């Protein structure tokens, strides 16, 4: 994996933990704000993790063609290094066409080993027994 991709992945992972940009995400953070980049970054890091739990290797992550698409376009414009790893399309996010299948697997494995998806389970107050 080349240095820029590794540094970018490390920054994406760290951003999800502490919400502080380091280098590549700084412009996106300044232009868009934390609330507009936090969840798209999470999706970029997690859409392919199902493979490690028995599903097929995902080639893409479906997004809606409205708000989600616009947020991702803006994120990629403000952090062009993302284009070295991913590509945004009207209805999905996929791998960059510059990556070989081996590189995709290497990135997938790196994210899997270094990024833990945080899951919160909340109990709906209406479910409490009266």
Please report whether residue 69 resides in a domain: yes
Please report whether residue 129 resides in a domain: no
Q: How many domains does the chain have?
A: 1
Helix (H, G, I), strand (E, B) or coil at 93: strand
Please report whether residue 97 resides in a domain: yes
Each residue's pLDDT, cut to its tens digit, for the chain (130 residues) gives 999 999 999 999 999 999 999 999 999 999 999 999 999 999 999 887 665 566 666 788 888 888 889 999 999 999 999 999 999 999 999 999 999 999 999 999 999 999 987 666 666 655 555 4
Please report whether residue 122 resides in a domain: no
Please report whether residue 74 resides in a domain: yes
Please report whether residue 126 resides in a domain: no
Instruction: In whole angstroms, give the CA distance from residue 75 to residue 101.
Output: 25
Got the DSSP string for 94-121? Answer: EE-TTS-HHHHHHHHHHHHHH-------
The reported pTM is: 0.83
Please report whether residue 17 resides in a domain: yes
Please report whether residue 127 resides in a domain: no
Domain boundaries, position 92: 3-116
């Amino acid at each position: 994996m080349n240095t820029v991709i590794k540094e970018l992945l490390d920054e994406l992972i760290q951003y999800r933990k502490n919400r502080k940009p380091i280098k590549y995400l700084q412009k996106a953070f300044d232009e868009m704000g934390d609330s507009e980049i936090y969840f798209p970054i999470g999706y970029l890091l997690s859409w392919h993790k199902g493979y490690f739990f028995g599903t097929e290797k995902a080639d893409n992550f479906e997004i809606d063609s409205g708000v989600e698409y616009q947020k991702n376009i803006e994120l990629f414009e403000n952090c062009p290094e993302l284009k070295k790893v991913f590509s945004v399309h009207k209805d999905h996010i996929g791998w960059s066409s510059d990556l070989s299948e081996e590189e995709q697997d290497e990135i997938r494995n790196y994210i899997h080993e270094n990024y833990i998806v945080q899951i919160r389970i909340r109990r709906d107050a209406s479910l409490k027994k009266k």
